[in-house]
A and B are shown apart, each in its own frame.
Chain A
Amino acid sequence: MNIFERIQQLDRRWIYIVVALAIALPLAFPFNSDNITSPPTENLYQFIDSFAGRPDRAILLSFYHDASTMPELFPMEVAILRHCFERNIKVFTLTWLPSAGPIIDYAINTVKEDYPNIKSGVDYCNFGYIPASLAMPTVLGMGDNIAASVKTDAEGRKLENLEIMKGITNYSEMNLVIEFSGSSAGGMWLFYARPKFGLNIAVGVTAVMAADEYPYLQTGQFIGMLAGLKGAAEYEKLTDVFGAYREPGTPLDLGVDEDGNKIPHGRSFSSDILRDESIQKYLNITPQHIAKFKPKEYQQFVDKHPEKKAIFDSLKEEKDGMIEIDVTKVTEAQKDELGYVAFNDLNRLTYNIPYKFKVARIGMNAQSVAHIMIIVFIVLGNIGYFIQKARQAKQQ
C-alpha cells in the first residue's frame, strides 16, 4: 500500500485536526500579506466616500443576518462604520431580524470606542428591529419620508426631532443602502426601492452567496459588493489607507470649519496611492510599536506639543537618518506627563492597527493557508483515486 492509498483510507478526524491547525497557526502567529482590492469593493468605497462631510447625504446599513454569519459579515460592518465615522458620513442602521438587533449595537459600540466624539442621533441613528412583515411598507414609505415611515429609533426617540434628520428626508438624500446578508441580500431594496425611487444599492454577502449576486452587480443594479471575508479585508485596507489616514503634522481632532461643519479626517480615494509601495507601513497587521519620523516630520510633530518636547527628546533614538520612538518604552509616569492627546498622537504614528480593524485581514492569512491545504488534499485524493482505479482495472 503506497502513501496515496493510505491517504484514501485515512480517518476523517485526522483531516479535521490538520484543518484546525492550518487555520489556528496563522491566527496565533499573524504575518503581513498583501491584499489586492477588487473593483466592486473600490466602487463601494468611493461611493460612500463621495458623501464625506455632507450633511445632506446619508447611508443606510441593513443588518439582515444573525450570529451564524458574523465571521464574514461583521468585519464588513465594522469597516464601513469606521469609514463613516472617520469621514463624517451620516449612517442609519436597521434590521428585519430580531436576532440582528444586538449585532447592530455590538458593531456600533465596537467602532464607537475609538471615536468619542461620535454621537447617537447626530452622527448615526439606529432604527433597530423592524418586523420583516413590515419590510415592504417601510422600504416604500422611506422613499417618500423616512421620519414618517420609521417614526422612532431603537431608543424610542422620534426621528423628526433628531439632529441627524436635518437635511435628510427620503432616498434622494439617504441615497445608498447596503444590505449585509447570508442569504438573499438586497432583494427587498432591489425589487421595491430601486425601480420606483432609483435607490443605489450595494451588498455585503457571505462567499457562498456571492455567485448569486454577481449578475446584479454586472448589470449595474448593485453599485458595489463585498464578497465574504475577502471583501471585508479589502474594505479594511481601503479604510486604513484613505479614511483613517493622517498626515504626521495634523491634529487628532480636526474640529469644524468656519460654517460649523465638521471637517472629515483622512483623504480621498486614489488608485495611484493604492499602487504606491509607501502605503505598506499603514497596512502591517503584525503589532507595531515604533513611531518613525524623518527629521523634518519629527520637528513638525514636536511643534504640535512644544511643552512635551523634553520627554519626546528623551525617548527618541536616531537610526539610519530616521528618528524613532518605541512606545513600549514609555513609562507610566511619562504617559501621565504626556497626557492622553500627546501620547495617542505618538501612538497613532506607529501605525499599529487595533485588532478589531484588521480581523478580516488576519483571517485572510488563515484562509490562504487553508486554501493551499485544500488544493493539496484534492490533488492527493485524486492521485490516490486514479491509482486505485488503475489497480482495480488490472485485477479485472
Chain B
Amino acid sequence: MSFELFSNLVGAFFTLAIFSFLYKDNPLYQMSEQLLVGISLGYSFVLSYERVFIPFFWQPIVLKHQFILIIPAIIGAFYLFRFSRKLSWLSRYPIAFSMMGTGASVALAMHSSILVQMRQAMVPIENFNLFLIFLGTVTVLLYFFFSKAHTGVYGKFVSIGKWFMMVGFGASFGLTVMARISLLIGRIQFLVNDVFAKIF
C-alpha cells in the first residue's frame, strides 16, 4: 500500500467518522472532533515557533544581539498574564499596542468602505440598474430611520426597503446553501476519486 493511499484511507476514516454525527452523536465523532482541535493547535504551535519565535525573537536577540527587542518581547509576554487573576491587568498593555493597528486602519477603512461606496452610489441614474441601486439605497436607509413612524405613504415607501432586504437575504441564503453543498461535494469527490477509485 502506497503512503498516499494510506493517508487517504486515514482521511476517509475521519470523514466518515464526522459524517456519522448525521445519524446520531457517537464516540467516533467526538474522537475525530477532538483530534482535529488538538492537531490544529499542535501544528500552529510548531509553525509559530519556527516562523515567529525563531526569526523574530531568537535570531535577532540571541544571535544578532539586538537587545532593544527584549522590550517588545516582554510586553508581548504580558499576554500570558491573562491566566492570572491578580495580574491579568498587565495583558491590557500588549492589547493597547495592538490597537495602534486598529487605529491606523480606521482612516483607510473609512476611505474604502464608506467614502468610495458613497461616491459610487451618487452617480447619474443613466439606466434601470442604477435606478434600482438608488431606490434600494434610499429606501433601506429610510427603513432604519426610526424618528418617524412607518405609516401612510411614507410607510409604504420605506416598506420597499424591506423588500430589497428580503431579496438580499434570499440571495445570501441561496449562496450559503451553494457553499455548504460545495463542501459536501469536496468531501464526496475525495471519497469517490481519491479513496474508492484507488481501492477498487
A residues with a Cβ closer than 8 A to B are 13, 16, 19-20, 23-24, 27-28, 68-72, 98-99, 101, 128-131, 133, 136, 190-192, 194-196, 206-208, 210-211, 215-216, 218-221, 227-230, 355, 359, 362-363, 366-367, 370-371, 374
Contacts and interface: CB of A to CB of B under 8 A. Distances in A.
A144 to B, nearest CB: 16
A107 to B, nearest CB: 14
B76 to A, nearest CB: 9
Determine the interface band of chain B, counting residues with CB < 8 A from chain A: 35 or more
Given A98-B43, A211-B175, A192 B182 contact: no
Given A98-B51, A218-B120, A206 B189 contact: no
Contacts of A23: 181, 184-185, 188
Interface in B154-200: 168, 171-172, 175-179, 181-189, 192-193
B73 interface: no
A195 B168 contact: no
Given A99-B43, A229-B182, A363-B185, A27 B117 contact: no
Given A207-B179, A228-B178, A230-B178, A24 B112 contact: no
B47 interface: yes
Interface in B92-139: 98, 101, 104-105, 108-109, 111-113, 116-117, 119-120
A355 B193 contact: yes
B44 A99 contact: yes
20 contacts: A27-B192, A71-B186, A71-B187, A72-B182, A131-B48, A191-B113, A192-B105, A192-B108, A194-B112, A195-B108, A196-B108, A207-B176, A211-B168, A219-B116, A228-B182, A359-B189, A362-B189, A363-B189, A366-B181, A367-B185
B174 to A, nearest CB: 8
Nearest to B123: A219
B48 A98 contact: yes
Given A131-B48, A136-B101, A221 B116 contact: yes
Contacts of B104: 136
Given A28-B192, A101-B47, A229 B108 contact: no
B112 A195 contact: yes
A191 B168 CA distance: 25
Nearest to A186: B112
Contacts of B117: 215, 219
Nearest to A218: B120
Contacts of A359: 189
A363 B186 contact: yes
Contacts of B116: 219, 221
Nearest to A359: B189
Contacts of A366: 181, 185, 188
Given A70-B186, A128-B51, A228-B175, 14 more contacts: A16-B22, A23-B181, A98-B44, A130-B51, A131-B48, A191-B112, A195-B112, A208-B176, A216-B112, A221-B116, A355-B193, A363-B185, A366-B185, A371-B178
Contact of A195 (B48, B101, B111, B178): B111
Contacts of A207: 175-176, 178-179, 182
A101 B23 CA distance: 34
Contact of B120 (A192, A211, A220, A230): A220
Contacts of B111: 191, 195
Contacts of A220: 120
B129 to A, nearest CB: 10
A23 B181 CA distance: 8
A72 B172 CA distance: 17
Nearest to B76: A133
B109 A191 contact: yes
A131 B55 CA distance: 11
A353 to B, nearest CB: 14
Contact of B182 (A129, A216, A363): A363
A221 B112 contact: yes
Interface string B25-59: 00000000000000010011001100110001000
Nearest to B184: A23
A98 B47 contact: yes
A27 B188 contact: yes
A24 B177 CA distance: 17
Nearest to B112: A190
A68 B179 CA distance: 11
Contacts of B188: 20, 23-24, 27, 366
Contact of A71 (B112, B183, B192): B183
